[in-house]
């Protein structure tokens, strides 16, 4: 496994309060269009800007409270959404001759772990932009209470990614977590109990990335670089179409990488087992090993198991009363932190392979899916080797398309929620999944 990056135990993670700053938000608002031009990122807001302009007009008029659930395929999403909310929606409202009476104000949930790996500057910015930090691996009552209060008060829209994390695939969605549906029911129930007539609107927002040009030559060069690096023999079969040979090359690269990981974990896959089955076996083995180390009971979805492992590792790395430990106990705490970080690395590697599959390209073969899978493999290799993979030559600039789905009713489901909460949450989560899935296909 990769060498542990945590060498000593650290003080417990403190809570990061929400500290919105109009000054910081204004600076980001002005910088984003210039940044996107430099990156060559083309934004198409589709029906999202107009639909959300009308939704925010109703919200600011005191007619509704907004819960916006967005697809989360990329780490670029927060910047894209910031531009949508702070630039495009006010401009669209003005174009409709219905200017918003006040600036768009947001609260959004973000993983407490982001400032750990992205750095304190990012954490500072997230706080100033209205972020609510939440520990995903445990029941974070203060964060959930703040999010619930935000919806009930209604002054700020609440923006949440129901997938919980990025999967780096525009054409396939990760399983949704039930938290968005639960928050919606909590807030709708609170509004009803106080005879508040405002309607809670749950709005699905789709985000899809694609490449503006199909640079097959660049993709071929990067496949060749991976083959050379891993010692994979290039195929000499004649190409019948532009997709199949490149998909086959990518699958051979993935199989070679998987063989190395199986050897590391002492796994012996049955002869003839498909790459997808081997990846699934590796995932389950990695999770089970980490769970055994932390004495966790396996259960839930893959994402839920990853979050439990992450929280168990954090509990051993970030400790209360660390400065009060005697020297010997402090040394043992450092050992335990190193071992926990090693298991966390095992879980991170599993996460890297969560989106890698043989079917993603085969189901809808095109340049974008090949490129996304290529980037996932490059990222995994770079992470294992503890250095960024040299992403050259460039695959070119991208575009991002935003689309707004139909609002999902919450108040009309309250009776079912009061009768059977678990079933009602499952049904609303499935309805949200269906609506977001419908927004994945390109227009």
275 or 95: whose pLDDT is higher? Answer: 95
Instruction: Report d(CA 260, CA 287) in Å as an integer.
Output: 18
69 vs 391: CA distance, rounded Å: 32
203-262 pLDDT per residue, tens = 999 999 999 999 999 999 999 999 999 999 887 776 677 888 898 899 899 899 999 999
pLDDT of 193 over the 80 cut = yes
The mean pLDDT value for 302-315 works out to: 91
Q: Are 214 and 365 within 8 A, CB to CB?
A: no
Query: Residue 276 has what pLDDT?
Result: 86
Residues in the chain: 443
State mean pLDDT over 392-404: 97
Cα–Cα distance, 83 to 215 (Å, whole number): 28
Higher-confidence position of 1 and 411: 411
Which residues lie below 8 Å from residue 76, measured CB to CB, with a gap of 6+?
41, 209, 400
Average pLDDT, whole number, for the chain? Answer: 93
Angle at which helix 367-384 crosses helix 244-264, to 10 degrees, equals: 20
Is 9:336 a contact under the CB 8 Å cutoff? yes
pLDDT at 301 over 90: no
* Contact (CB, 8 A) for 426 and 178: yes
* Reduced 3-state DSSP string for 116-139: HHHCHHHHHHHHHCCEEEECCCCC
| Number of Cβ within a 10 Å radius of residue 28 | 19
> What percent of the chain shows pLDDT beyond 70?
97
Q: Report how far apart, in Å, the C-alpha atoms of 334 and of each of 294, 348, 355 are.
A: 16, 21, 33
Across residues 166-184, what is the average pLDDT? 94
pLDDT > 80? residue 1: no
* Distance separating alpha carbons of residues 386 and 360, to the nearest angstrom: 27
DSSP state of 158: E
Reading the block at residue 149, the tokens are 């209060």
Are 213 and 178 in contact, with CB atoms under 8 Å apart? no
The pLDDT score that the predictor gives to residue 375 is 94
- Assign 2 a pLDDT band (cuts: 50, 70, 90): very low
Per-residue pLDDT, 443: 52
Give the whole-angstrom CA distance, residue 319 versus residue 316: 6
pLDDT of 3 reads: 42
Distance CA 151, CA 134 (A): 16
**Pair 306, 347: CB distance under 8 Å:** yes
- Give the rounded distance of the alpha carbon of 20 from its chain centre: 22
- Residue 442 pLDDT more than 70? no
Contact 77, 207 (CB under 8 A): yes
- Please give the structure tokens belonging to residue 35: 């940044």
Q: pLDDT digit string (tens) for 116-134?
A: 989 999 999 999 999 999 9
Q: Which helix (H) or strand (E) holds 402?
A: strand 398-404
Residue 351 has what pLDDT? 81
What would the mean pLDDT of 294-314 be, rounded to a whole number?
91
**Is the pLDDT confidence value at 415 over 90?**
yes
Decide: 298 and 170 in contact? Cβ < 8 Å.
Answer: no
0.75 surpassed by pTM:
yes
């Amino acid at each position: 496994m990769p060498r542990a990056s945590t060498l000593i135990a650290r003080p417990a993670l403190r809570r990061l309060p929400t500290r919105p700053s109009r000054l910081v938000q204004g600076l980001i608002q002005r910088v984003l269009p210039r940044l996107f031009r430099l990156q060559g990122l083309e934004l198409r807001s589709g029906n999202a800007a107009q639909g959300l302009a009308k939704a925010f007009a109703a919200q600011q008029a005191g007619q509704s409270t907004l819960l916006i659930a967005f697809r989360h395929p990329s780490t670029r999403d927060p910047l894209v959404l910031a531009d949508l909310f702070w630039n495009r929606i006010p401009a669209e409202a003005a174009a409709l001759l219905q200017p918003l009476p006040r600036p768009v104000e947001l609260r959004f949930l973000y993983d407490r772990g982001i400032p750990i790996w992205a750095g304190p500057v990012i954490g500072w910015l997230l706080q100033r932009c209205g972020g609510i930090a939440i520990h995903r691996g445990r029941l974070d009552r203060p964060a959930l209470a703040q999010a619930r209060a935000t919806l009930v008060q209604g002054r700020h829209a609440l923006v949440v990614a129901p997938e919980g994390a990025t999967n780096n695939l525009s054409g396939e969605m990760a399983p949704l977590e039930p938290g968005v549906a639960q928050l919606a029911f909590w807030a709708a129930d609170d509004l009803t109990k106080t005879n508040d007539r405002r309607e809670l609107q749950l709005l699905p927002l789709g985000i899809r990335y694609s490449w503006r040009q199909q640079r097959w030559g660049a993709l071929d060069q990067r496949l060749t670089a991976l083959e050379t690096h891993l010692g994979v023999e290039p195929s000499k079969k004649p190409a019948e179409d532009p997709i199949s040979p490149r998909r086959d090359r990518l699958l051979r690269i993935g199989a070679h990488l998987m063989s190395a990981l199986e050897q590391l974990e002492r796994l012996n896959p049955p002869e003839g087992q498909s790459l997808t089955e081997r990846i699934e076996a590796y995932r389950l083995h990695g999770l089970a090993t980490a769970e055994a180390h932390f004495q966790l009971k396996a259960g839930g979805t893959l994402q839920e198991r990853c979050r439990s492992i992450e929280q168990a590792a954090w509990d051993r790395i970030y400790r209360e009363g660390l400065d009060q430990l005697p020297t010997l106990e402090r040394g043992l705490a450092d050992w335990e932190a190193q071992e926990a970080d090693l298991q966390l690395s095992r879980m991170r590697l599993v996460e890297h392979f969560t989106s890698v599959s043989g079917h993603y390209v085969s189901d809808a073969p095109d340049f974008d899916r090949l490129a996304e899978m290529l980037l996932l493999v490059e990222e995994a290799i770079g992470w294992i080797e503890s250095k960024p993979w040299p992403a050259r030559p460039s695959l070119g600039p991208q575009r991002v398309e935003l689309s707004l789905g139909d609002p999902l009713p919450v108040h009309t489901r309250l009776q079912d929620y009061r009768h059977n909460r678990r079933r009602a949450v499952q049904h609303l989560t499935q309805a949200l999944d269906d609506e977001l899935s419908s927004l994945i296909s390109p227009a």
